[in-house]
Amino acid sequence: MAIVAQSSKAGRIGRASLAWIVALIFFFPIFWMVLTSFKTDADAVKPEFLIFFQPTLENYLNMTANYDYWRFATNSVITAVFATIFALAVGIPCAYAMAFNPSRATKDVLMWMLSTKMLPAAAVLYPMTFLTKSAGLFDTHFLIIVVLMLINLPIVIWMLFTYFKEIPKEIIEAGQMDGVNTWGEIREILIPLAWGGIASTALLCFIFCWNEAYWTVRLTTTDAATLSKLIEGNRAPEGLFFGRLSAVSTAAVGPIVVLGWFCQKQLVQGLTFGAVK
Amino acid sequence: MGQIVLKDVTKSFGEVEVIPPLDLTIEDGEFAVFVGPSGCGKSTLLRLIAGLENTSSGQVMIDGSDVTEVSPSKRGLSMVFQTYALYPHMTVRKNIAFPMRMAGLSQEEQDKRIMAAAESLNLVDYLDRKPGQLSGGQRQRVAIGRAIVRDPSAFLFDEPLSNLDAALRVGMRIEITEMHARMKTTMIYVTHDQVEAMTMADKIVVLQSGVIEQVGSPLELYRAPKNLFVAGFIGSPKMNFIEGQEAAKHGAHTIGIRPEHIDVTAKGGTWTGKVGVAEHLGSDTFFHIHETGLAETLTVRAVGDVALRHGDTIHLNPRLEELHRFDEGGARLA
């Protein structure tokens, strides 16, 4: 009889339960945030575990009336969209060059790019604030777009590089023999072939831009302030209005959760870096 | 027109010199085959001609003009790759049209050439399919179609048949040879298979470690190999090499005799041995013979079905006029 690996029923149930427990642990804070956003501030601070209460839309109505939610949301969309477009515009040619014309330095360059992600952001906080203020860029869309693009560029280039690496070099060479120039190769061959990879890279980059808080909170005041800033601004000094804060947070993460839900497949592909094919 | 000349061309990857200085001329309309074991530099040489690799020094000339610094897209050559290298996101029609679209040909002219290529390559029914829906042989035909429509000054083939099964390979071999006879365009064909080289080439270039061992027509190489390497590489099954006393009798360090130049006799031949493996093909029988006292194994080809089996004693008569003699360095003795 052939020997086949067996997995016991108990083991399978154990693993499934573990997966469910972990999933619930991750899900609970989000669930609680959404729940709290429908409570009055008085209900929200009650110490008991309050699941059944009189729901109210007050927090949401206040939000659009008092804090101009839509302005912050528009800023978030503008900065995330343009930062993603620019990151791709720089990242695609860069990853293309390294994937198809590698030199001895390519690996080092890639590592160096990644190493910039290891720099603690706080280390450059003062120079950044000082420089942007004196250059008159503080609290502008332009600044936030550039900053978001730069902090995501390493991951964008790494992801694109990994996807481009999977395209056989001969196809690019066939293009060269067939008379295309470098831009033609990118436009006619590379982008159509790596479309899935580029889409998941863009999606992930957009999510990272949307969620970024460290710089968007510190380099804006009103004009270019994003949803992260709105949440931060609701951390009122006179005491925490949990209901209000939860509503703002729910409204801030809502769009990205919906986007993520629809693009699950691409996201998983993107996060596994093309490891499964 | 498509005369290709390499002058003093070298190629190094870092410290490693894969092609030492090399001169070669391929005349217009010639079918040249680069052949050699894997790693001999034949593909690198083809890629240097294509422009996909830069030369480390020396010149590449096409029709008298120096193209050493010219990009592959401007050399006017077409290439067929071992892996076909079709554009997987385009239909067959678009794949074939691609080089013409890049060259800015009119739609009308493109359609005309696509149809002509598709008809000659039996691809008419597949024009709207994607490469993923085609068999290996069909894909290779599309790759050839894409190469033809450009009307290049020369075709470069990089082991185009090695991914196909044996039967298909023979068919495609004939198709490409016929295509050459019809178009009379220069073709350079890289292969490690000496049968392909022998059957297709006007001129064979035998390479080893980046060095040209011999250039000549298939029969020149077969009849008068310049050295042991070429002698052993060209011809199937391989030439038998005998050293020592038997070679000294003929005034050589090594003598070589092809399996088809040794006759099997019933009794009292020059050499005797014991049959090891006997391969009965019907038309021919190949004997691998041991205990001859000459070499570890002698291979002999007998015409027809010869009824000798494993362990039988066999008597052999070499045809002395077909004997090849080599000196200690492996070079041919006149």
Decide: B203 and B33 in contact? Cβ < 8 Å: yes
Residue A272 has pLDDT above 70, yes or no: no
> A178 and B50 in contact by Cβ < 8 A?
no
CB-closest option in B51, B73, B79 to A180? B73
Residue A231 has pLDDT above 90, yes or no: no
- What's the complex ipTM? 0.85
* Burial tier of A239 (Cβ tally within 10 Å: 0-12, 13-18, 19+): exposed
Q: How confident is the model at residue A237 (pLDDT cuts 50, 70, 90)?
A: low
Q: Which pLDDT score, from 0 to 100, does residue A238 have?
A: 59
In sequence order, what are the residues at sequence separation of 6 or more whose Cβ sits closer than 8 angstroms to the Cβ of residue A248? Answer: A63, A67, A69, A227, A230, A231, A234
Q: What is the mean pLDDT of residues B137-145?
A: 93
- Helix H, strand E, coil C: the string for A159-219 is HHHHHHHCCCHHHHHHHHHCCCCHHHHHHHHHHHHCHHHHHHHHHHHHHHHHHCCHHHHHC
Residue A276 has pLDDT above 60, yes or no: no
Residue B31 has pLDDT above 60, yes or no: yes
CB-closest option in A171, A179, A189 to B103? A179
pLDDT in tens, B221-257: 999 999 999 999 999 899 999 999 999 999 999 999 9
Q: Which pLDDT score, from 0 to 100, does residue A139 have?
A: 93
Q: Which pLDDT score, from 0 to 100, does residue A134 have?
A: 94
Q: What is the mean pLDDT of residues B146-168?
A: 91
Chain B CB contacts of A196 under 8 Å are none
Residue B81 has pLDDT above 90, yes or no: yes
Cis peptide, bond prior to residue B237, ω within 30 of zero: yes
Q: How confident is the model at residue A274 (pLDDT cuts 50, 70, 90)?
A: very low
CB-closest option in B87, B99, B146 to A189? B87
Q: What is the mean pLDDT of residues B143-172?
A: 91
Chain B CB contacts of A173 under 8 Å are 52, 72, 79, 81, 85
Q: Which pLDDT score, from 0 to 100, does residue B99 have?
A: 94
Q: How confident is the model at residue A236 (pLDDT cuts 50, 70, 90)?
A: low
What is the tally of helices (H) and strands (E) in chain A? 15, 0
- Determine contact: A176 vs chain B, CB below 8 A: yes
Q: Which pLDDT score, from 0 to 100, does residue A275 have?
A: 39
- What percent of chain B lies above the pLDDT cut of 90? 81
DSSP-assigned letter for residue B332: B
